Structure 1
Amino acid sequence: MNDAARTGCVDYRTPAREEGPALAAMARQCFVETFGHLYDSAELDPFLDQAYGPQGLLAELDDPQTEFRIAHRDEAVVGYAKLSPLCAPAAGAQPGALELRQIYVLAEWQGAGVAPALMEWAVARATARGAPELYLTVFDHNHRAKRFYARYGFSESGRCTFRMGSRVDDDRIWRKPLGA
């Protein structure tokens, strides 16, 4: 799909609970598109089932502390952002800090303005909720994502790990101060 065909055709909203399966399927697809080549399928498949299944993303839709924003075109989910209380092991985090736990955009929609719209929503919602700062974690070798986050005022503030089966990846914790 060319950029002209994508311009102005994406809508954004809070997902309804019944859209959970479509959102979870999109999240799985996006994770595999981005990171699937790094992992053995014997370890990847159980992770995907746990992260995006009934006890993972689908359960988070019912959590009043977690907010979602989806990007959709013709009722197909093409991206989403998930904002929650801080889960990352961020040293020195201020009380009330929030975390942008996921901002996913399908590969064919990257570069079409979906990620900026989702990021702007996340920052606005965190600010509206009175968060003093917003955190996220990012795979250390995901340079495209790190450049994107830096454009929005995030900077590296710590390290953590991401484990899938026997593989342990080095992630970075990034922080953006909010407010005055």
Structure 2
Amino acid sequence: MIYRDATRADLPAIDALFRTSFVATFGHLYAPRDLADFLAGFTPEAWAGEFAEPELRFRLAEDERGLAGFAKTSGLTLPAEATAPAHELRQLYLDERAKGSGAAQALLDWALEQGRARGAEEMWLSVYVDNRRARRFYEKNGFEDRGAYAFMVGEHADEDRLMRRIL
């Protein structure tokens, strides 16, 4: 696996991996209209807008087949009650082939380092309440459940859990 910072040229591949992974993992939870409305927010212009944000960073994991995963960090956007300067892991998605490869750990380690480099003392994220694999992974990495968060997919409110790790 090779890890590198994303470039603007990587945005179509990031979008494709995000859509494939999100639908494969969560698509069965939603009415088709809610899922379509949610995914409609992820346009080429929206990805480009995020990429242009100075505080937002993307990191890629690539193998011989191409993009295998990505992570995205920024300043805190979640409705979390931070008690110190905070950073956020906004997304961490893997292609199915990359699960169990160590890519998730490498991308999370990078995200934690991004927070530290920006003076954060806390790292926050949200994770779907029934995504047990992800929750175990984050708990193993020192994240603690800090309460419920309504993550909207179209008109459907998922229960996510806000999680925090002290850096």
Please say which of residues 144-153 and 66-75 is displaced more in the overlay. Answer: 66-75
Shift of 1:165: 2.5
1:161 alignment partner in structure 2: 150
Whether the 8 Å contact between 2:3 and 2:62 is mirrored in structure 1 is yes
The match for 2:78 is: 88
TM, length-normalised to structure 2: 0.94
Provide structure 1 residue ranges, at least 5 long, that are not aligned to the other structure: 1-9
Residue of structure 2 equivalent to 1:57: 47
For 2:36, what is the secondary structure of its paired residue? helix
Partner SS, residue 56 of structure 1 = helix
Matches within 5 A, 1:5-154: 10-50=1-41, 52-74=42-64, 76-91=66-81, 93-154=82-143
User: Letter of the aligned partner of 2:51 in structure 1?
Assistant: L
Distance 2:24 2:154 in 1: 19
Counterpart CA distance in 2 for 1:82 and 1:122 is 8
Partner-residue secondary structure (3-state), 1:42: helix
Q: What secondary structure, in the 3-state scheme, does the structure 1 residue paired with 2:44 have? A: coil
**How far, CA to CA, are the matches of 1:88 and 1:145 in structure 2?**
18
Q: CA RMSD in A?
A: 1.4
For the pair shown, the structure with the greater C-alpha radius of gyration is 1
Question: 1-side partners of 2:98 and 2:148: how far apart?
Answer: 29
Residues 17 and 67 in structure 2, CA contact (< 8 A), matched pair in contact too? yes
CA distance in 2, matches of 1:72, 1:61: 19
Q: For the residues of structure 1 that align with 2:47 and 2:85, how far apart are their CA atoms? A: 22
Q: TM-score, normalised by structure 1?
A: 0.87
> Once the two structures are superposed, what CA deviation does each residue of 1:53-104 show, in whole Å capped at 9, x if it has no partner?
134333211111101101112362110011111111112x135301101111
Shift of 1:106: 1.1
- For residues 116 and 79 of structure 1, do their structure 2 counterparts lie closer, same or farther at Cα, with a shift above 3 Å needed? same
The corresponding residue for 1:5 is none
Deviation (angstroms), 1:153 = 0.5
CA distance in 2, matches of 1:57, 1:36: 21
SS in 1 for 2:114: helix
8 Å CA contact 1:79, 1:104 repeated in 2: yes
| Residue ranges of structure 2 left out of the alignment (5+ in a row) | none
Contact 1:85 1:96 survives alignment (8 Å): no
Deviation at 1:170, TM superposition (A): 0.8
